[in-house]
C-alpha cells in the first residue's frame, strides 16, 4: 500500500476533520437518517390515497353530466347536449333498463347536474361511451365518472 505524506498542523490549529462537531451539525447528522427512514417506511406502507379503488370502480356504476355557464347562463349547445343525454337515458329506462336518474340545479344561471346510476356495469360502460360521443367538443359540458351521491361538484 502506498504511503501518503501527512502534513503537520501548526500548534493550536485544528484540522477540519478533527474539529469538534457543533450541536447543529450533530443534529443534522442524526435527523437526516431518521427522515430517510420515515420517508422509506411511508412509501412502502399502505396509504389511503393509493389503496383506494380506481375512480371508475364504484359499488354501482354511475356518471354525471354537468352543463355549466360563464356568467351569462348555460349556452344553447350545452343545454342541447344535456337534453339529448337526458332523452337517451330516459329511452333506456322506458326500454326496461335499471337506471336511476337524478337531476339537480347547481347554479343560479341554470347550471345543471344530471346523474345516472346503473345496475348493469356493461350497460353503464356502453351508455357512458355513447354520451361521451354526444357531448364531445361541446363547450361548458363536463362528463365525469362519479357516484351520484357525491353531491354537486362541477
Q: What is the pLDDT of residue 149?
A: 85
**Does 10 fall in a domain?**
no
Q: Parallel, antiparallel, or unpaired: how do β-strands 99-105 and 141-144 relate?
A: unpaired
Q: Residues 135, 70: one domain?
A: yes
Mean pLDDT of 99-116: 96
Q: Residues 108, 142: one domain?
A: yes
> Confidence band (pLDDT; 50, 70, 90) for 20?
low
DSSP letter, residue 111: -
CATH number for the domain spanning 93: value is: 3.30.70.1430
**Does 1 fall in a domain?**
no
Mean pLDDT of 96-102: 97
Q: Residues 44, 113: one domain?
A: no
Q: Residues 70, 37: one domain?
A: no
> Confidence band (pLDDT; 50, 70, 90) for 116?
very high
Record the cell numbers describing residue 111, joined without a space: 347550471
**Does 45 fall in a domain?**
yes
Q: pTM score > 0.85 for this model?
A: no
Q: What is the pLDDT of residue 35?
A: 43
Q: Residues 100, 33: one domain?
A: no
Q: Check: CB of residue 138 under 8 Å from CB of residue 77.
A: yes
Q: Residues 41, 84: one domain?
A: no
More confident site: 64 or 16? 64
Q: Residues 100, 139: one domain?
A: yes
The answer, yes or no, to whether residue 132 has pLDDT greater than 50, is yes
**Does 75 fall in a domain?**
yes
Q: What is the pLDDT of residue 46?
A: 43
Domain extent at residue 141: 62-149
Q: Residues 103, 144: one domain?
A: yes
Q: Is the dihedral of CA 52, 53, 59, 63 positive or negative?
A: positive
Q: Residues 82, 117: one domain?
A: yes
The answer, yes or no, to whether residue 97 has pLDDT greater than 90, is yes
Number of domains in the chain: 2
Q: Residues 66, 41: one domain?
A: no
Q: What is the pLDDT of residue 45?
A: 44
Q: Residues 41, 70: one domain?
A: no
Amino acid at each position: 500500500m502506498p504511503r501518503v505524506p501527512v502534513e503537520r498542523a501548526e500548534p493550536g490549529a485544528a484540522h477540519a476533520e478533527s474539529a469538534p462537531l457543533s450541536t447543529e451539525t450533530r443534529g443534522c447528522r442524526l435527523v437526516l437518517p431518521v427522515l430517510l427512514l420515515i420517508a422509506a417506511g411511508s412509501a412502502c406502507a399502505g396509504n389511503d390515497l393509493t389503496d383506494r379503488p380506481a375512480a371508475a370502480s364504484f359499488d354501482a356504476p354511475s356518471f354525471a353530466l354537468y352543463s355549466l355557464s360563464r356568467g351569462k347562463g348555460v349556452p344553447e349547445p350545452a343545454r342541447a347536449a344535456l337534453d339529448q343525454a337526458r332523452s337517451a337515458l330516459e329511452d333506456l329506462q322506458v326500454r326496461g333498463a335499471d337506471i336511476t336518474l337524478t337531476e339537480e340545479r347547481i347554479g343560479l344561471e341554470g347550471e345543471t347536474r344530471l346523474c345516472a346510476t346503473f345496475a348493469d356495469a356493461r350497460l353503464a360502460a356502453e351508455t357512458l361511451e355513447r354520451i361521451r360521443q354526444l357531448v364531445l367538443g361541446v363547450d361548458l359540458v363536463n362528463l365525469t365518472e362519479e357516484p351520484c351521491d357525491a353531491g354537486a361538484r362541477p
